[in-house]
Amino acid sequence: MADDSIAVVDLDRCQPDRCNYECANFCPPNRTGKDCIVERGDFYGDDEPYDGAPDQIRISEDICLGESCGICVEKCPFDAIEIINLPSELEDEPVHRYGENAFALYGLPVPETGQVTGILGPNGIGKSTAVKMLSGELTPNLGRHDDEPDWDAVLDRFRGTELQNYIERVIDGDVEVARKPQYVDQIPKQFDGNTRDLLERTDERGALDSLVERLNIGPVMDQDIDSISGGELQRVALAATLARDVDFYFLDEITPYLDIGQRMTAARLIRELAEDGDRSMMVVEHDLAILDLLADTLHVTYGEPGAYGVVTDPKSVRNGINEYLKGYLDNENMRIRPNAITFEEHAPRESVKGQTLFEYPDIHKSYGDGEFSLDVDGGTVYESEVLGIVGPNGIGKSTMAKLFAGQLEPDEGELDVDLDIAYKPQYIEIDQPIRVDAFLSSITDEFGSSYWDTEVARPLQLNPIMEQNLTDLSGGERQRVAIAACLSKDADLYLLDEPSAHLDVEQRVQATTAIRRYAENHDATVMVIDHDIYMIDLLADRLMVFDGEPAVHGHASPPQPMRDGMNEFLADLDITFRRDERTGRPRINKPGSQLDRQQKREGEYYYSA
d(CA 48, CA 59): 17
User: pLDDT for 262-311, tens place per residue?
Assistant: 999 999 999 999 988 789 999 999 899 899 999 999 999 998 888 899 99
User: pLDDT for 86-104, tens place per residue?
Assistant: 776 576 689 999 888 899 9
Of 3, 4, 75, nearest in space to 37 by CA: 75
In which band, very low, low, confident or very high, does the pLDDT at 345 lie, cut at 50, 70 and 90? low
User: pLDDT for 421-465, tens place per residue?
Assistant: 899 887 777 677 889 999 999 988 888 888 888 889 988 989 888
The stretch 588-599 carries a mean pLDDT of 91
The stretch 312-339 carries a mean pLDDT of 90
Q: Is the pLDDT of residue 220 over 60?
A: yes
d(CA 409, CA 427): 21
User: pLDDT for 538-576, tens place per residue?
Assistant: 889 899 999 998 888 999 999 999 889 999 999 988 899
Of 564, 500, 515, nearest in space to 385 by CA: 515
Reported as type and span, the H/E element at residue 178 is strand 177-180
Of 190-194, 270-274, 328-332, which gets the smallest average pLDDT? 190-194
The stretch 307-318 carries a mean pLDDT of 93
Per the prediction, the chain carries an average pLDDT of 87
The stretch 380-406 carries a mean pLDDT of 89
pLDDT at 348: 43
In which band, very low, low, confident or very high, does the pLDDT at 46 lie, cut at 50, 70 and 90? very low
Q: Is the pLDDT of residue 350 over 50?
A: no
In which band, very low, low, confident or very high, does the pLDDT at 335 lie, cut at 50, 70 and 90? confident
More confident of the two residues 338 and 109: 109
More confident of the two residues 233 and 12: 233
In sequence order, the β-bridge partners of residue 375 are: 364, 555
d(CA 190, CA 336): 37
d(CA 113, CA 133): 17
Percent of the chain scoring above 70 in pLDDT:
94
Q: Is the pLDDT of residue 367 over 90?
A: no
Cβ partners under 8 Å of residue 449, min gap 6: none
The stretch 353-358 carries a mean pLDDT of 81
| Number of separate helices (H) and strands (E) present in the chain | 22, 28
The stretch 18-39 carries a mean pLDDT of 92
